[in-house]
Amino acid sequence: MTQLDVQIEPQHQAIAARLGLAAVDGSADRIDNGLSEVAALGIPDALAVLAVQSRNVAAALVASQGVDGARAVFQRTILDAGVADDE
């Protein structure tokens, strides 16, 4: 459960995992299908899927890059987003 009172259920974990696999496999069709599935869930369930995805991305980055490396990846993404906003 989150502070927003969003319950993370097995369904959310499965959707997040399918989306992650689709991204790893580079399958645009499966990514589109997964995102469509998330969009149809409604906001509370979509937030639960997002929470699972965020946890998984952070865990994978920490495992492969260490805590400092994972932080650097996220910090670069924030900086990149700022540059994109300026353009």
Measured CA to CA in angstroms, residue 18 lies from 11, 39, 61, 66 at distances of 11, 15, 19, 25
The confidence band for 21, taking pLDDT boundaries of 50, 70 and 90, is very high
Residue 2's pLDDT is 52
Q: Nearest-CA neighbor of 31 among 16, 10, 13, 11?
A: 16
**5: burial class by Cβ within 10 Å (0-12, 13-18, 19+)?**
exposed
Work out the average pLDDT over 3-14.
Answer: 89
Work out the average pLDDT over 50-61.
Answer: 96
**What residue segments make up the domains of the chain, in order of their start?**
10-86
